[in-house]
Chain A
């Protein structure tokens, strides 16, 4: 506490020297003192010693204040750490925009908000399996966008054609075509019988459905001046700065909100997303009352909201994300003993610590964030929990390692670099030399899909549920017959398929698959991410969709 005070005083002293020496001669002095916010700050507060200065949040009026007559909370302002850039409905794989874009657009079905992987009706009222590879989908006849265009089967066909024609049809592996039957009925033709619902996640619950007429009326301005069917309309959008959404009073689903997933609720009148890329700036935004919610407060800075001077205004939740860092050894180049030597030599707790305050070590391939996570999936007694240098040396002695330098392929982000540096140091302890090969995202992709592109590969992975995140790891379809770690193993495929198929998706099958993976040292899990979600005490229950905070379905005081 004392250190923090000293740091803050030093920081303020430095700022004062720099700022006042500047402002003393500056022509802009007048403009700064005449700023509207200045009127709210009492002179006595400005003159108070730096360490004792009352927080500006006390002087500033809260951004959201009370319930409106229609039962909605007035306004909530949430920080967004990345710019949504556009509201174009063509990008189905942009998690950064999930809580923004899916408030204004809707999809045929919703994957249940509780991460159970269950399919819930939305624009479509239901489906019927005609045969394994053909589904008959029925649309609701009362779905309208906010310009009054009724959504029909022709609109659905237009949207799918658009996604495919723009080359944005990511994870459409099973999609073949759409056949319109009548205004509110169409057939999905799949390329075969899909083994599990989550294999159809992108066509069914990610592809945005909009009116063909609205699209043609608006032309290219659709990306900024979007027209959707969602429970919120765009009131203002300034790319790089903010997106303001207003509750859609004419929402087609307003009378059946209880039947729809919570994400469609309209508990707030106005939602403002402010783009604040710097976490430290967002923290000041919370402290000054300019922001209400921020879900990327660094763990090191959450204390002042949890127990410090702002604890009377905010709640703090430490959240674990679904995505996690993994290591894939190149199984074509490294024999099983060498892989085990490497994995026993890595202490993932130390690696997570080196990556920074937002990372936590994991003992399984997934996190407690996922609905299908189970404590029985924690891999105790394996290299994920036991850091054992003696064992590592034993495996190394039995391996074919000839002293060559192994390449560690990583993305060029800071966390990956810190993790790779720590792994490199740990490998050196058992006499394995390595070099770090940091590349941009596309460089990583090129190298990782080449058999000679790496010895050890580190990246992040996530999915709709825990077993869904294994698609990029254990499924040999991702790499032309090989897994990401260049394994071609029928037994692994059969165990993975059993764990991921709807009928046999349970902890026992998942555990069997994981045991096989660790027995052969095919993969290693490094760390998961966690951060602090800070939100005002006026929110009694925070709403989420797939881990992303959704202010419109949060519950506010008095609701």
Chain B
């Protein structure tokens, strides 16, 4: 198992190098001149040339790429924003906790409520509970984030006065963004959990358990749920890697200075160091999240654990 983890960590380094190369090349190939964009339409060609030289984007591709790879992966220097002149990684880490609160908060809601709704729907297939859950899921998945966010602001901030309409001065400011960001995920998780439950509900081992006279609740909890968890965990793993990317629309509506907003402003203003830092950070976080997901598989599924053990035994032989 430990060899597997070490192997995956080594692979992660290669993935990060590849991500760095790809994101740098893509931004290099993107049409448009960052200097021109930053200085506005009143800047002369001479001033634009000066700015390009200052940013170092007047040099050949290989020189720029080499400098970027060395600075990023050998010196761990992600550079300064071309617009704000601040350290990109420091700024990203400053914003990360706000994004994590929203991301993890909405993920917890997604997983718990989505899974519970999915189980209810799956175990009541064709009944009114199933229809109700699917209707709710349909509404949640169809409603755009920003629309839901505005409705929630109208209700909870304006009409009821319970929560602030924007800002993060207190933790109360996070409630509406978390709810707004989680509705789509609840729907997706509910549908996924329902499908997974329906797959195992007719499995032989479930029929056997029922034939033995097991209580239905025990059948669901001990036999169906652990087997239905695999696709749910896959979804959670994927979702976890998205958590740090933030939700730019939600952050924008609620004026939350998070990572999503930071990346969005970097893209809009061709502030490439911001894009590079964000993408490499996302790649690192995603790699770790996927590794953890795989380890969870091994923990939950004895067959996968056996594969690791078998590999180890084979090696020992």
Interface set of A (CB-CB < 8 Å, partner B):
8, 11-12, 14-19, 21-23, 25-28, 31-33, 35-38, 40-41, 45-46, 50, 53, 55-56, 59-60, 83, 85-86, 88, 90, 93, 164-173, 220, 223-224, 238-242, 274-278, 280-281, 284-285, 287-288, 290, 440-443, 445-446, 459, 471-472
Chain A: minimal CB distance from B20 (Å): 23
User: Which partner residue on chain A sits nearest B86 by CB separation?
Assistant: A223
Knowing A223-B85, A281-B153, A440-B32 touch, does A170 contact B178 (C-beta < 8 A)?
Answer: no
Which listed residue (B53, B160, B165) contacts A281, Cβ 8 A? Answer: B165
Q: B126: shortest Cβ distance to chain A, in Å? A: 21
Question: Which residues of the partner chain A approach B105 to less than 8 Å between Cβ atoms?
Answer: 28
CB of B165, distance to nearest CB on chain A (Å): 4
A239 to B266, CA, bound (A): 13
Specify which of B37, B53, B87, B156 is in contact with A441 (CB 8 Å cutoff).
Answer: B37
Indicate if the CB atoms of B159 and A12 lie closer than 8 Å: yes
A356 to B117, CA, bound (A): 43
**Pair A11/B84 contact, Cβ less than 8 Å:** no
**Residues on A with beta carbons closer than 8 Å to the beta carbon of B178:** 28
Q: Whose C-beta in chain A lies nearest to the C-beta of B90?
A: A220
Q: Cβ of A31 and Cβ of B175 under 8 Å apart?
A: yes
- Quick check: A170 and B54 within 8 Å, CB to CB? no
Q: Across the interface, do B109 and A27 meet the contact criterion of CB distance under 8 Å?
A: yes
B35 pairs with A86, CB closer than 8 A: no
Q: Assess the A60–B161 pair: CB atoms within 8 A.
A: yes
Are B31 and A443 touching (Cβ within 8 A)? yes
- CB of A220 within 8 A of CB of B52, answer no
Q: Report whether A278 and B253 are in contact in the complex, using a CB–CB cutoff of 8 Å.
A: yes
Q: Tell me the chain B residues, 36-50 only, with Cβ under 8 Å from chain A.
A: 36-37, 39-44, 47-48, 50
Which of A19, A46, A166, A239 sits near B152, CB closer than 8 Å?
A: A19
- B interface list, Cβ under 8 A from A: 31-37, 39-44, 47-48, 50-55, 80-81, 83-87, 91, 95, 105, 108-109, 112-113, 116-117, 136, 139-140, 143, 148, 150-168, 170-172, 175, 178-179, 182-183, 186, 252-258, 261-262, 265, 270
Q: Are B44 and A173 in contact (CB under 8 A)?
A: yes
Bound CA span A164–B43, Å? 12
Shortest distance from the beta carbon of B142 to any chain A beta carbon, whole Å: 11
Given the complex, which residues of B lie within 8 Å of A277, measured CB to CB? 252-253, 255
| A459 and B41 in contact, given A59-B161, A86-B83, A240-B257 (Cβ under 8 angstroms) | yes
Q: Closest approach, in angstroms, between the C-beta of B125 and any C-beta of chain A?
A: 20
Given contacts A35-B175, A167-B35, contact A276 B255 (CB under 8 A): yes
A21 to B132, CA, bound (A): 11
Query: In the assembled complex, which residues on chain B have CB atoms less than 8 Å from the CB atom of A242?
Result: 167
A sample of 13 inter-chain contacts (CB < 8 A) reads A11-B154, A26-B113, A38-B162, A45-B160, A55-B158, A167-B47, A167-B48, A170-B42, A220-B85, A277-B253, A280-B150, A288-B161, A442-B37
**Are A220 and B80 closer than 8 Å at their CB atoms?**
yes
Given A22-B109, A223-B84, 14 more A-B residue pairs with CB atoms under 8 Å apart are A12-B155, A22-B182, A26-B109, A28-B175, A33-B162, A35-B171, A40-B161, A46-B160, A85-B265, A86-B83, A167-B50, A242-B167, A281-B253, A284-B153
List of A residues within 8 angstroms of B35 by Cβ: 167
Q: In the complex the two chains form, is B257's CB within 8 Å of A238's CB?
A: yes
In the complex, which residue of chain B has the Cβ closest to the Cβ of A238?
B257
Could you tell me the distance between the alpha carbons of A172 and B270 in the complex, rounded to whole angstroms?
Answer: 24
A18 touches B42 (CB 8 A): no
A8 to B257, CA, bound (A): 29
A22:B113 contact, CB within 8 angstroms: yes
A288–B163 Cα distance when bound, in Å, is 10
Q: In angstroms, how far is the closest chain B Cβ from the Cβ of A173?
A: 7
Q: Kindly state the separation between the CA atoms of A304 and B139 in the bound complex, as whole angstroms.
A: 31
Which residues on B sit within 8 Å (CB–CB) of A238? Answer: 257
Whether A281 and B254, one on each chain, are in contact in the complex, defined by CB atoms closer than 8 angstroms, is yes
> What are the nearest 3 A-B pairs in CB distance?
A240-B257, A167-B51, A35-B172
The 8 Å CB contact of B151, one of A15, A169, A440, A441, is A15
Given contacts A281-B255, A288-B161, contact A220 B32 (CB under 8 A): no
A170 CA to B48 CA in the complex, in Å? 9
Q: With CB as the reference atom, state the residue of chain A lying closest to B140.
A: A18
Q: Which of A224, A239, A240 has the most CB of B within 10 A?
A: A240
Q: A35-B163, A284-B153 are in contact. Are A443 and B32 (CB under 8 A)?
A: yes
Alpha-carbon gap, A19 to B51, bound state (A):
50
Indicate the member of B152, B162, B256 with the most A CB atoms within 10 Å: B162
Give Cα distance in the complex from A442 to B87, angstroms.
Answer: 25
CB distance from B267 to the nearest CB of A (A): 10
Distance from B258 Cβ to chain A, minimum over Cβ atoms (Å) = 8
CA distance A167 to B49 in the complex (A): 8
A540→B266 CA distance, assembly (Å):
40
| B255 close to A35 (CB less than 8 A) | no
A27 to B35 alpha-carbon distance, docked (Å): 48
Closest residue of B by beta carbon distance from A460: B41
Q: A11-B154, A18-B151, A19-B155 are in contact. Are A239 and B179 (CB under 8 A)?
A: no
Q: Please give the distance in Å from A179's CB to the nearest CB on chain B.
A: 21
Q: Is the CB of A18 within 8 A of B167?
A: no
- Which B residues are CB-close (under 8 A) to A441? 37
Given the complex of chains A and B, what is the CA–CA distance between A288 and B179 in angstroms? 20
- A173 partner residues in chain B, CB cutoff 8 A: 44
Chain B residues lying within 8 Å of A33, measured Cβ to Cβ, are 162
The CA of A83 and the CA of B48, in the complex, are separated in Å by 24
Q: Are A168 and B36 in contact (CB under 8 A)?
A: no
Which chain B residues lie closer than 8 Å to A16 at the CB level?
155
Return the contact of A12 from the options B87, B113, B154, B265 (Cβ within 8 A).
Answer: B154
A223 partner residues in chain B, CB cutoff 8 A? 84-86
By beta carbon, the residue of chain A nearest B162 is A38
> What residues of B have a CB within 8 angstroms of the CB of A288 in the complex?
157-158, 161, 164-165
**Residues of A with C-beta under 8 A to B40:** 93, 170
Cα distance A83–B112 in the bound complex, in angstroms: 35
Asked whether B167 lies within 8 Å of A241 as measured between CB atoms, the reply is yes
- How far, in Å, is A486 (CB) from chain B's closest CB? 16
* Complex interface: chain A residues within 8 A of B116 (CB): 25
Are the CB atoms of B179 and A290 closer together than 8 Å?
no
Q: Which residues of B contact A275 (CB under 8 A)?
A: 255, 257
B91 to chain A, nearest CB (A): 7
Check B91 against A239 for contact (C-beta < 8 Å). yes
Shortest distance between the CB of B244 and any CB in chain A (Å): 16
From B34, B85, B152, name the one whose CB has the most chain A CB atoms within 10 angstroms: B85
CB-defined contacts of A46 to chain B, threshold 8 Å? 160, 162
- Choose among A86, A173, A445 the residue with the greatest number of B CB atoms under 10 Å from its CB: A445
Cβ contact within 8 Å between A37 and B172:
yes
| A residues less than 8 Å from B254 (CB atoms) | 281
* A46 vs B162: C-alpha distance when bound (angstroms): 9
Please indicate the chain B residues that have their CB under 8 angstroms from the CB of A88 in the complex.
Answer: 84-85
- Nearest neighbor of A51 in chain B, beta-carbon distance: B159
Give every chain B residue within 8 A of A50 (Cβ-Cβ): 159
B158 touches A239 (CB 8 A): no
Whole-angstrom CA separation of A17 from B140 in the bound complex = 11
* Contact (Cβ within 8 A) A93 B113: no
Are A22 and B179 in contact, with the CB atoms below 8 A? yes
- Cα A427 to Cα B84 in complex, Å, equals 43
* Inter-chain contact A240/B262, CB cutoff 8 Å: yes
Complexed CA–CA distance, A148 and B258 (Å): 35
Cβ distance B15 to chain A, nearest Cβ, rounded Å: 30
- Measured between beta carbons, the chain A residues less than 8 angstroms from B150 are 278, 280-281
